[in-house]
Amino acid sequence: MTATLQLTSVESYTHRHFDQLRMILMDARTQQLLTAPPASLLVKMATPNALAFLIQGFVSMAEVWFISRLGTTSLAAIALAFPLLMLTQMMSGGAIGGAVASAVARALGAGNVARAEQLIWHALVIVGLGASTFLGAFLLFGEIFLGFLGGSDGVLAEAMAYCLVLFTGGVFIWFMSVMSAVFRGTGDMQFPALIMVLGACIQVPLTGCLVMGAFGLPALGIVGAAVSAIVSAAILSLIFLWRLIWGRQTLKLHWHARVLSRELFRDISKVAVPASLSPLLTIVTVLSLTSLVGRFGEAALAGYGIGSRVEMLLVPLVFGLGAAMTSLVGLSLGAGNLARAERIGWLGGTMAAGVAGMVGLLLALFPSAWIGAFTSDPATFASAKSYIQIVGPCFAFQGLGLSLYFASQGAGRMAWPILATILRILLAVGGALLLAFYFDFGLKGIYIAAGTGMVAYGVMIGAGLKLGVWR
């Protein structure tokens, strides 16, 4: 009995001192992230992120504004291409980027800097594979896909031209998104945020010049927007690379860390694979709804495109908070502090729901204030107004679901977000078919179903956390 007690005492002493040693070895930033009050920490980390992503949302809106000057056909074409752009961003920055940030955060939470630096090289391999896969898929099936969504004649031709440029230079979008995630995984939200603001300062004026033609640059029309996005992403990619090699931060891109291993690929893929299902299913929802809206004509599709882009103002706000949650939850679980991880999840989810709900409500109450900036066509205006008035009040649930999706990435627990996404697609697409065509609600029926899917998405992911799925 005495021996057992002695052994237990020794083990307790050893574990205690091992934890102390691990904390000493961690850099000051990591220690602060593991010990500071969660609420103030979330606000501090999310603020620069949210502002930067919000600015990126305005970049998207500026792109639509410039293209709207070209006419309804071009506006419908960008609406047709938008789901594919959305998928690229969600996969590179959301699913894969979130998985990389989670793996880096958990490695640092466990005090293993060498492992975190090896993960950077594995992320670079995934960038190449992801960009190549997307380009190949578009070259093989892009025209069929866009045609399925309702694209034809001039609308299809313009959408194809836009997407061809976008996917050809897509490796820069992937690199920029994933390397930004590496920094966020360390808890550094400020540098990626500053780089995103710089990207906006480059992309907005360049888009205007290339779409309309100015300062000696050619008027490329809708293609100019894609060229601008690629040029901006390429510049930002070079800055991230420079910082990783020569900058002063927790992690460095060391040549000696380039050794690849199946175990580290598995560490990323165990989150990335299930996380990728969520944006894929989400985009299936968007594509299906786009196809159904397209049945009501070019003006309806253009209006839906405006409404969807305005929704992008919500995503940056939530993503800014969600990126912080991925890092903090991953660090907490890496350090073995489950209670802190769950508290961060609930705090972040509540904040996201509040902000998203307020944005959605304001947009729904005052739709004419911003829709008029994009179109003067009565039918297009009516479609956009109907969408935002119906779907806007549901943004709170979308905010809750998206933030907890990112938190689940940090936890490495993606089952419930996937189930929630499946439920969303069933309600949104199935409901749209029933309401629009069986009960004759028309276009409004599609939008009602889309809002219902958002509500179910947020409720289900929140229920999963309440039931303790991270334990």
21 vs 13: CA distance, rounded Å: 12
Is residue 113 predicted with pLDDT exceeding 70?
A: yes
pLDDT confidence bin for 11, thresholds 50/70/90: very low
- Cα–Cα dist 29/49, whole Å: 17
> What percent of the chain has a predicted confidence (pLDDT) above 70?
91
216 vs 234, residue with greater confidence = 234
What are the distances in angstroms from CA 256 to CA 116, 118, 121, 179, 382? 13, 9, 10, 19, 59
For residue 97, pLDDT over 90 is answered with no
Q: How many CB atoms lie within 10 A of CB 139?
A: 12
What pLDDT sits at residue 27? 61
Helix, strand, coil tally for the chain in percent (to 5): 85, 0, 15
More confident residue, 15 or 144: 144
Query: Can you give the pLDDT at residue 110?
Result: 76
Evaluate if residue 2 carries a pLDDT over 60.
no
> 151 pLDDT band (50/70/90 cuts)?
low
